[in-house]
Amino acid sequence: MPLNITFKETLSSYNEMIMKSFVEKLAEYNNTLIEIRLYEPSIATDFSNYFCKLEGLLKRQLENGIKIKYEICTAGVGLTMKQAGFFREKNITVCLLMDGPKSIHEHNNILLNRMGSHEQAVHAARLLTTYKVNFYIGITVTSVVAMNIQRIFSFFIENGWNSHAYWPVMCEMHQKMPTELLSVREYQYFLEQLFWLWKDKRMNRQPVYVREFENLAGVIKGYAPLVSSLSGQCPFQNVFFSNGYIYSRGCREGHTEYLCKQLEEQGLLVMKSVDVKTECKMCRWVSLCQSDRMCCMNSSVFCEIYKDFYLSILPEIFELLRNLGK
């Protein structure tokens, strides 16, 4: 498994000493693949300078043969042509946060000046497309999103933005679902509707990628899972802050662990497999679910609806694979 790092704050927040200490610790590990996720809600004008400093430190400190993949998660606010070209040049994958058409997106995405961010997100998507940047749309599934998934999916497809990842809204510091934002039944409706939308496009050989369903098909074919919800592991086990602390997010059935460690004292956290509960081991769906439904959430919230979901969609996935000759 790759070693995953998330920079929780904007790159400009990290001073050079902290950055050097981080890279030196990184060099102690023997991973051949390191995935670094950068979090820049609004693209700072000096982002490229700080990125080049980080990249330079990594190249000098790490051995040849170690592959580094970069991803930036952004709302696209303030994205310029120069920055889009920079992402292309540096082969940075972009997760562009957008929840659909304007009325839906701006239900939960308002800037500090009380203006909506939809126009800037759309502008960013068009820039990334023009500059041929590898990007996908990241959608937070709230009640509003769940109940309007057909409209949202159509909006993205009509604009040519065909690669999506959907995450149900969650309270990260609490082990319960905020039901006022998304109920279990609303999420069940969302899952079923999205699956049929995805399958219809894929059966017609249209290039649409919904991350969880594509990975589910891959797991059925025997490939290693590429998303946390199918691997029993949390991908963001090292969340790095500008004060030198590592924020550990460990996923297990029914509870979530949070821990800060000082980088200089204890280093990074290597991903480990999750202990699967006895009752989960007896479940017919354990090979698909791996007891980690939707990373870092209390999986019992969605357990029953996923059992029903797997039962109904497995024959459909097999039909799809036969149709595609896979």
pLDDT tens per residue across span 182-234:
888 898 999 999 999 999 999 999 989 998 898 888 888 877 666 554 444 45
CATH topology of domain 3-323: TIM Barrel (3.20.20)
CB proximity list for 74: less than 8 A, separation 6 or greater? 40, 41, 42, 43, 94, 95, 96, 97, 124
Task: Return the pLDDT at 297.
Answer: 40
Question: Which residues, in sequence order, are bridge partners of residue 141?
Answer: 168
pTM (2 d.p.): 0.86
Burial 57-66, CB ≥16 within 10 A → b, else e: bbeeebeeeb
Low-confidence ranges of the chain (pLDDT < 50): 112, 171-179, 229-233, 250-258, 271-273, 291-298
C-alpha to C-alpha distance for 110 and 53, rounded to whole angstroms: 32
pLDDT of 261 reads 57
- Domain ranges for the chain: 3-323
- pLDDT the model gives residue 267: 63
Burial 169-201 (b: 16+ CB within 10 A, else e): bbeeeeeebeeebbeeebbbebbbbbbebbbeb
Q: What is the model's pLDDT at position 253?
A: 35
CA distance readout (Å), 252 to 44, 206, 297: 36, 36, 9
pLDDT at 292: 40
- Whole-angstrom CA distances from 74 to 39, 66, 100, 121 are 6, 26, 15, 9
pLDDT at 293: 42
Q: Write the DSSP assignment of 11-61 as a string of letters.
A: GGGS-HHHHHHHHHHHTTS--SEEEEEEE-SB--TTHHHHHHHHHHHHHHH
The pLDDT of residue 54 is 93
DSSP calls for 63-124: PTT-EEEEEEEE--BT--HHHHHHHHHTT-EEEEE--SSHHHHHHH-B-TTS-BSHHHHHHH
Q: At what angle do helices 118-130 and 81-89 cross, to 10 degrees?
A: 50
pLDDT of res. 300: 59
Dihedral of CA 27/33/34/38: which sign?
Answer: positive
Write the DSSP string, 127-190: HHHHTT--EEEEEEE-HHHHTTHHHHHHHHHHTT--EEEEEE---TTSSS--TTT--HHHHHHH
Res 250: pLDDT:
47
Question: What is the rounded CA–CA span in Å between residue 231 and residue 227?
Answer: 6
Q: Please give the pLDDT value at position 175.
A: 43
- Main-chain phi, psi angles of 262, to 5 degrees: -80, 130
pLDDT of 245 reads 78
Q: Among 144, 153, 158, which Cα is nearest to 195's?
A: 153
